[in-house]
């Protein structure tokens, strides 16, 4: 990976914000059968999901995630278990939660969760999917593959591009991840992992420029 410490120029930030805006879907929230929280390295995703449950958006709160790409290097406890603990501390009772803690990617999140729901005789027809802001579109494109007929609303922690980075998730890291995710949005439909999503030309040009500038740490191998 290139050293991008010195590369957070005005140009880089403008290009990155273009991609950030593309990744965000800005869906309007409505009540649903369940809130489906996808695991990640960002506990604010768990807080968003728990708050939606506390606000009465759905009767069931699902956490899905084992140890993925990023978290297997920093944690030993599965993402879903950590997220469920956050929800518990916020006041969500265990009986309102379903925890799937074996999956390592979004496809597995959906497959393994479907199995758990089936075991309980549950067939939700509407989902509020919760993910990081910069992964909303990818979450939607993947969920749509596995849930072709269900109503999907995607949401995330309500933070702007400037406010999202923190000590654990730096701006550099966010840009590397967003660049990698945009590549996956383009490539994964052909592999059967996601539905096709149109990428505006200026967004793809921003991608090309950021790769040129060294933001290639999360590109597909």
The CATH number for 61's domain is: 3.40.50.620
Is 89 part of a structural domain of the chain? yes
- The total of structural domains in the chain comes to 2
Give me 151's structure tokens.
């109503």
Mean pLDDT, to the nearest integer, of 208-219?
96
Residue ranges making up the domain that contains 169: 10-23+161-212
Query: What mean pLDDT is predicted for residues 18-39?
Result: 98
CA–CA separation, 171 vs 208, rounded Å? 18
Give the H or E element holding residue 209.
Answer: helix 201-212
On whether both 123 and 174 belong to a single domain, the answer is no
Tokens of 187: 């490539």
Shared domain for 204 and 115, answered yes or no, is no
Distances (CA, A) of 121 to 102, 116, 118, 124, 215: 20, 9, 5, 10, 45
Q: What's the rounded Cα separation, in Å, for the pair 50 and 83?
A: 9
Give the whole-angstrom CA distance, residue 103 versus residue 134: 20
Is pLDDT above 50 for 2?
no
Query: CA–CA separation, 102 vs 78, rounded Å?
Result: 8
What does pTM read for this prediction? 0.93
Q: Rounded to whole angstroms, how far apart are CA atoms 79 and 137?
A: 21
Q: What is the mean predicted confidence (pLDDT) over 109-118?
A: 95
Instruction: Specify the residue for token string 């978290």.
Output: 71
- What is the pLDDT confidence band of residue 72, given thresholds at 50, 70 and 90? low
151 domain-assigned: yes
* Residue 4 placed within a domain: no
Q: In terms of domains, do 63 and 85 share one?
A: yes
Distance, C-alpha 50 to centroid of its chain:
15
């Amino acid at each position: 990976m290139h050293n991008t410490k010195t590369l957070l120029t005005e140009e880089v930030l403008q290009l990155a914000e273009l991609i950030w805006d593309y990744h965000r879907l800005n869906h309007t929230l409505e009540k649903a059968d369940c809130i489906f929280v996808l695991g990640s390295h960002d506990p604010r995703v768990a807080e968003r999901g728990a708050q939606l449950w506390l606000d009465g958006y759905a009767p069931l709160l699902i956490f899905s995630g084992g140890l993925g790409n990023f978290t297997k290097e920093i944690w030993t406890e599965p993402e879903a278990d950590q997220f469920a603990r956050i929800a518990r501390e916020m006041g969500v009772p265990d009986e309102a939660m379903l925890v799937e803690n074996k999956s390592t990617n979004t496809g597995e999140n959906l497959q393994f969760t479907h199995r758990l729901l089936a075991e309980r005789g549950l067939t939700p027809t509407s989902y509020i999917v919760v993910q990081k802001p910069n992964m909303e579109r990818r979450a939607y494109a993947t969920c749509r593959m596995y849930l072709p007929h269900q109503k999907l609303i995607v949401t995330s922690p309500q933070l702007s591009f400037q406010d999202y980075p923190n000590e654990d998730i730096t701006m550099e890291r966010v840009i590397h991840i967003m660049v990698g995710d945009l590549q996956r949005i383009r490539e994964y439909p052909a592999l059967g992992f996601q539905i096709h999503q149109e990428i505006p030309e200026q967004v793809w040009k921003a991608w090309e420029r950021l790769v040129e500038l060294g933001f290639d740490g999360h590109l597909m191998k």
